[in-house]
Amino acid sequence: MANVVVVGAQWGDEGKGKIVDWLSERADVVARFQGGHNAGHTLVIDGTVYKLHVLPSGVVRGGKLSVIGNGVVLDPWHLVKEIATVREQGVDISPETLMIAENTPLILPLHGELDRARESASAVAKIGTTGRGIGPAYEDKVGRRVVRVADLADRATLETRVGRLLAHHNPLRRGLGMDEVNGEQLVQELLDIAPEVLKYAAPVWKVLNDKRKAGKRILFEGAQGALLDVDFGTYPFVTSSNVIAGQAATGTGIGPGGIDFVLGIVKAYTTRVGEGPFPTELLDDDGDRLGTRGHEFGTTTGRKRRCGWFDACLVRQTCATSGVTGIALTKLDVLDGFETLKICVGYDLDGKRMDYLPTAADEQARCTPIYEEVPGWTESTEGARSWADLPANAIKYVRRIEELIECPVALLSTSPERDDTILVTDPFQD
């Protein structure tokens, strides 16, 4: 049986939560492999809305093992709060249904404080961070001074880790005019929360490899989108981790040979939250219409998303860097009623045609989209569950996207409800 990686192929908010939930019915294990609680996945199941931030989408489905991999940065206090919230909605979460990698780095209060202080003090362009400490936690991971889940089990180790961490952070905080962190108090706060986290701790790399050997189906769930990847995104307006599919291996310890199918989630138009380049952004009635019909507000931040036409160049680019096998096209129904639709098929950079978004930030800012117009449709696609339910022009639109991004559609989503999905190729059939 195939193991499947799900990645966002735009700037996030593509509808990964619903697709992962839909696929989780066929999976035995669902594993998060990067990001933190800056991500937001909204699931609608039997009329109940679940808003998840760090918990894998599989937790709302009984009989599945959910895993938080070492590629994630974890705020332990947020984790405990999110578990309590989901339990109140009737979801059973226990060490039998949720595991956290022992080598997962922790987000501490000082990370969020530093994140927000930097953003508010920035004299140049803001990055658009959520201010939740994700970036500073990844910095400390790379700097070999982060506190990890396993460190919570031993006070002496924890004191050493916190001491090393504060040797870096307290001078930095002084320079920013912030109060220093009390090391003893931080250690005690971590020891207080430790029992609530350690009961889920496990050697996730071993668990996943054992599951793979046993023929179990593993679904790897990413957060954000490939255009926010720290290497291949619109730098510096990116997240602090690798988002592309290759991170599923390093973020869980499964090894690249354990990945059989990469499913890229693609919205039928384009959105992004926060700062950064956005060639097809619409600052007119069409943009407002997309935002209103698509309910484009961030699950985590509540921020209004910027909206624009579908950008085939960007999606073709992310399909290449993630090795996407097939895409799940979402929110097609939001385009219902548009007389004409536009698809970006290239960029004009100072009179030169480009078929990809250049790396240099100044060149990205000068790129203007080259559009191809296609006819829209007046009929409703909402709730369609087969190709026969779709208007002819909607099918033509989907087929044209496949051609332009050089990747086939594996799934087509026509509403937030999990069953309103057209299956073309089952990713789990290797």
Active site residues: 13, 41
CA atoms of 118 and 212, how far apart (whole Å): 43
Residue 183 neighbours by CB distance under 10 Å: 15
DSSP label at 275? S
**Coil vs helix vs strand at 201:** strand
DSSP state at residue 199: T
Strand order in 261-267's β-sheet? 201-202, 98-101, 65-68, 29-32, 218-221, 4-8, 261-267, 326-330, 409-413, 421-423
Name the pairing type of β-strands 326-330 and 261-267. Answer: parallel
Torsion angle defined by CA atoms of residues 247, 250, 253 and 256, in that order, rounded to the nearest 10 degrees: 70
Return the H-helix or E-strand segment holding 137: helix 134-142
User: Are 39 and 54 spatial neighbours (Cβ–Cβ below 8 Å)?
Assistant: yes
Q: Residue 393 is which amino acid?
A: N
| SS3 at position 99 | strand
Backbone φ and ψ of 8, nearest 5°: -75, 135
* Helices 183-198, 76-88: crossing angle, 10 deg rounding: 40
